[in-house]
Structure 1
Amino acid sequence: MGAAADDPRRIAAGLTALAEWSAGLAWADIPDAIRRRAAVVLADDLAAIVAARGEPELMALHDGMARSSGTPEATVFNARGQRLDRYSAATANGSAADWCELDEGYRRVICHAGLYCVPALLAEAEATGASAEDMLRALAIGYETAGRVARAFTWSTLTLHPHGSLAAVGAAATVAALRRLPPETVAAAIGSAATMVVPGPFNHTVQGALVRNVWPGVGAWAGLRAVDWAEIGITGRPESLHDVYGAAFAGDCHPGELTDELGGSWALADGYHKLHACCQYAHSAVEAMLAALPKVPGGAAGIRGIHIDTHWRGRKLDNARPATTLASKFSMQHILASTAVHGHAGAEAFHASTLDDPKVAALREAVSIGAFEPEPAWPNDRPARVVVETADGSRVTEECLSARGGPDRPFAPEEIRAKIVGIVEAPYPRMAPALMRLLDLDPAMLAAPWDRSVREMTA
């Protein structure tokens, strides 16, 4: 058989090997640097969940979930004291985690692996009393699995959004690891989860369809259920991963990615973090804009026009009149205009009030988008060049080849800690100190049952 014809078998064999590796992985087998990365991802994504607590549509979603929830067993991190059954809590927190665009991502492919693991992990760990150490081990496994599946199937265009197509797989791998299931059940759960994904269109982000924000929540629910059902024999096929991503979604197949350098090269090492509350494809544009702004006489008021040359993914963010806060975070015009007006690209730059702000709206119309050519190789494959035309007719040009936050230009640890503390300390005064202990891998914190830690953090 040719390589393409053999892909389903090779994918099934790769998933089996990946499941055997994960089922046999002990905490002691995980390098210290990866343990610490897992702690950062858990704390950072938990903060991203908390950050969305005041979004009106999300509050309504949480209240709706509460009306249909079963016995309370896990916390919804919205500072309103809600506790739901683990499936409802995972859905609620998963829908919050990407709302503000502050969650962590995986740099090598289009994937937010932490987002696909953490909501289900938080709910399952609190419901079962698992320790923080058990959680970090499961997160390292789930992140590795989600990252490898994302690399095993790729697309040349931005058609599928990974929040829909990968979240259930990450959730299933993480929960199976937390439950310490045998490898055959792990593989079955992951394969089943792949058949329960959402084929979310990428253009829903640019057009601002808020249903996109709930895809990770739906994936968290589906991943949990896939594990439940695999334990009682309700599963897909060994080839289910290929049936979905290779056959149904027509992805290019790379079976070796499931096992190459397994245990030697860790997906967690290739994650990135965000301080700018918008699509990562525009972060280099934000940094170039922030570098140009001090050189513009009069600041934003002195700007007559903005031209951005950027990579092909960044050029997809073309929407001069975003209708929702989600659309604003995926609008290159709004991102540049609001960054200029506010002097930053934090959450306030994408508040609902900015959609109709006359200063921002006027600048949005003054933005033009072109191609950055030739596009550099990875990790500089998401570059931006901003040219600001000033009121006096002069031009200011700034360039950023790779935004900060990824493995090539990481934030200092204190910068991520400051972000986390800045988000959680007001709604949850006791959460920040606890998360700092988690980031330090404090032995007492790691050994404590997570449900007890949550009660202390949210008291």
Structure 2
Amino acid sequence: MSTPVTPEIHEAVASALKTLTARTAALTWEDLPEDIRIRAARVFCDDLASMVVAGAEPELAALREGLARVAGVAEASVLDGSRPVLRMDRYSAALANGSAADWAELDGGYRAVVCHAALYCIPALLAEGEASGATLREMLLALVAGYETVARVAHAFSFPGLVLHPHGGLATVGAAAAVAKLRGVDAETAFKAITTAATLCLPGPFNHAVSGALIRNIWPGLCAQNGIRAVDWAPVGLTGSPWSLTEVFADIFGGETRAEALTEGLGEDWKIAGGYHKMHACCQYAHSTVEAVLKATSGRGIAASEVAGIEVATHWKGRKLDRPQPETSLAAKFSIQHIAVSTLLKGHAGASAFDRASLSDPDMVALRERVKISAYPQELPWPNDRPALVRITLKSGEILEGECLSAPGGADQPFSDEAITGKILGNLSAWPAAENGIRAILALDPTRLSAPWAETLAELTA
């Protein structure tokens, strides 16, 4: 158990969080640089599409069915691609959408620390924004504020190894910060909502992703619901304490605290600019492995019968993804063995590379056992801190090698506008009428920004 932090550290974090919430409470759309506005729209659309594409998953369908039986007033949409669109109370919709948002493992993340900041904001914003009649401009501004808050909290508390999964530990904070901004509460109320949200987080083990425990996918949904509740309760005095953030993340979870991370570069270093997008439907720690396999094969088709073995030398976070025979599609997305083999045999790491059939495919089962994971020869600084070197040995004696120091998609190697738009539209195939609306959002069309989100959503799902 960690040593409790001193009162001085508790006070320093509380003071820094108050400075941060004062800044975000006062933030206006006009305060945002144009590139940050564009970035917010892109992140919003990408994570929205990554949510919709998972709608057909049977476990999610069962979750929605159960929620529908007990849901309250129909005020927010469940975005699963179905028609007519299923509507529930905002809390149930946030739970349903948040649980779908990370299912396909195509949502973006924040590269500097272990944090999917947009995922922690958007499900709550979608539900609250539709229920309250908010405009898209208001929702994008709230996304920036929520992203800024939860990313800075992630910087302020660092944890040894990969023990606490951020989807449970951080998502309630992001949801509360975003909804507080959308509702326009004052800085003191936002501070109380965020500190309260810290006490409503989930201590989810990181290894649940690697083992394939599907409850991991539900954490963002539960946290979205809890984040909205934290904002509900703050004005009526149902709150935590000013020290709740450190009492939870430092005293209980054992995080190393750095209070200044909450305020340094505030207003200049926009955290949303440091995010990444994903084209591969698996853990980002393994994207360099995917890229290295693709470089090694250079488009050449390789049959399982030709392969003697595969060696993957990668960074320490990648080496945690060690599960040669994953039992679920989630575990497959967090298995270096499956990721390397599926990329080799299928030529990609898209959603179909992790379907149920791939788990028991005889060729893949056998070949996964011939994957060896080792340490990359050296620890490299950002942005090359997640490298992979892959060596594929064929039975003929031929050796194919590929290396990737930093997978594309982050701030150092961003995808083109066309690539991101193509991904978004591809994931929204269930919404055939969505293209014009999505392109208008990405272009920050003034008419679209000033319209209620509910109106825009109705057009997207028509």
Give the TM-score normalised by the residue count of structure 1: 0.98
d(CA) in 2 for partners of 1:193 and 1:61? 24
Aligned match of 2:452: 449
d(CA) in 2 for partners of 1:298 and 1:170? 44
Aligned match of 2:28: 26
Give identity over the alignment, percent: 53
Aligned match of 1:387: 391
Q: Which residue of the other structure, out of 336, 342, 345, is the alignment partner of 1:338?
A: 342
Letter in 1 for 2:25: A
Aligned match of 2:333: 329
Q: Which residue of the other structure, out of 96, 102, 105, is the alignment partner of 2:106?
A: 102
d(CA) in 2 for partners of 1:161 and 1:68? 29
Aligned match of 2:216: 212
Contact 1:293 1:300 (8 Å CA) reproduced = no
Change (3 A) 1:228 1:391: same
**In the TM superposition, what is the alpha-carbon distance from 1:455 to its structure 2 partner?**
1.2
**In the TM superposition, what is the alpha-carbon distance from 1:300 to its structure 2 partner?**
4.6
Residues 288-367 of structure 1 mapped to structure 2, 5 A cutoff: 288-294=292-298, 298-367=302-371
Let me know the Cα RMSD of the aligned residues. Answer: 1.3
Q: Which residue of the other structure, out of 276, 280, 299, is the alignment partner of 2:280?
A: 276
**In the TM superposition, what is the alpha-carbon distance from 1:5 to its structure 2 partner?**
5.0
Tell me, what secondary structure is at the counterpart of 1:115? coil
Aligned match of 2:414: 410
**In the TM superposition, what is the alpha-carbon distance from 1:430 to its structure 2 partner?**
1.8
**In the TM superposition, what is the alpha-carbon distance from 1:302 to its structure 2 partner?**
2.4
Aligned match of 1:157: 161
Tell me, what secondary structure is at the counterpart of 1:38? helix
Residues 127-138 of structure 1 mapped to structure 2, 5 A cutoff: 127-138=131-142
d(CA) in 1 for partners of 2:257 and 2:438? 39
Tell me, what secondary structure is at the counterpart of 1:116? coil
Cα deviation digits, residues 284-304 of structure 1 (max 9, x gap): 000000111237674554222
Tell me, what secondary structure is at the counterpart of 2:311? strand
Contact 2:301 2:347 (8 Å CA) reproduced = no
Aligned match of 1:401: 405
d(CA) in 1 for partners of 2:335 and 2:378? 23
Change (3 A) 1:367 1:89: same
Aligned match of 2:67: 65
Tell me, what secondary structure is at the counterpart of 2:401? strand
1:45 maps onto 2:47 in alignment: yes
Aligned match of 2:438: 435
Letter in 2 for 1:273: H
Change (3 A) 1:247 1:3: closer
Tell me, what secondary structure is at the counterpart of 1:197? coil
d(CA) in 2 for partners of 1:176 and 1:298? 52
Change (3 A) 1:336 1:298: closer
Contact 1:293 1:299 (8 Å CA) reproduced = no
Contact 1:341 1:359 (8 Å CA) reproduced = no
Q: Which residue of the other structure, out of 240, 246, 252, is the alignment partner of 1:242?
A: 246
**In the TM superposition, what is the alpha-carbon distance from 1:68 to its structure 2 partner?**
0.9
Residues 79-90 of structure 1 mapped to structure 2, 5 A cutoff: 79-80=81-82, 81-90=85-94
Aligned match of 2:79: 77
Tell me, what secondary structure is at the counterpart of 1:235? coil
d(CA) in 2 for partners of 1:32 and 1:78? 31
Cα deviation digits, residues 269-314 of structure 1 (max 9, x gap): 1000000000000000000001112376745542221000000000
Gaps of 5+ in 2: none
Letter in 2 for 1:254: R
Letter in 2 for 1:60: A
Letter in 2 for 1:335: I
**In the TM superposition, what is the alpha-carbon distance from 1:4 to its structure 2 partner?**
5.3
**In the TM superposition, what is the alpha-carbon distance from 1:39 to its structure 2 partner?**
0.5
Tell me, what secondary structure is at the counterpart of 1:113? coil
**In the TM superposition, what is the alpha-carbon distance from 1:457 to its structure 2 partner?**
1.2
d(CA) in 2 for partners of 1:264 and 1:16? 18
Change (3 A) 1:225 1:294: same
d(CA) in 2 for partners of 1:244 and 1:203? 20
Q: Which residue of the other structure, out of 57, 62, 65, is the alignment partner of 1:55?
A: 57
Contact 2:119 2:171 (8 Å CA) reproduced = yes
d(CA) in 2 for partners of 1:438 and 1:349? 31
d(CA) in 2 for partners of 1:443 and 1:292? 46
**In the TM superposition, what is the alpha-carbon distance from 1:373 to its structure 2 partner?**
2.3
User: 4+ residue stretches of structure 1 with deviation over 3 A?
Assistant: 2-5, 294-301
Moved more, 239-248 or 391-400: 391-400
d(CA) in 2 for partners of 1:79 and 1:404? 29
**In the TM superposition, what is the alpha-carbon distance from 1:432 to its structure 2 partner?**
2.5
Contact 2:299 2:347 (8 Å CA) reproduced = no
1:253 maps onto 2:257 in alignment: yes
Letter in 1 for 2:9: D
Give the TM-score normalised by the residue count of structure 2: 0.97
Contact 1:152 1:256 (8 Å CA) reproduced = yes
d(CA) in 1 for partners of 2:66 and 2:402? 47
Change (3 A) 1:20 1:295: closer
**In the TM superposition, what is the alpha-carbon distance from 1:366 to its structure 2 partner?**
1.1
Cα deviation digits, residues 135-181 of structure 1 (max 9, x gap): 11000000000100000000121000000000000000000000010
Moved more, 428-437 or 23-32: 428-437
Cα deviation digits, residues 206-229 of structure 1 (max 9, x gap): 100000000000000000000000
Cα deviation digits, residues 66-94 of structure 1 (max 9, x gap): 11100111111112221111000000000
Tell me, what secondary structure is at the counterpart of 1:114? coil
d(CA) in 1 for partners of 2:299 and 2:194? 52
Contact 1:354 1:360 (8 Å CA) reproduced = yes
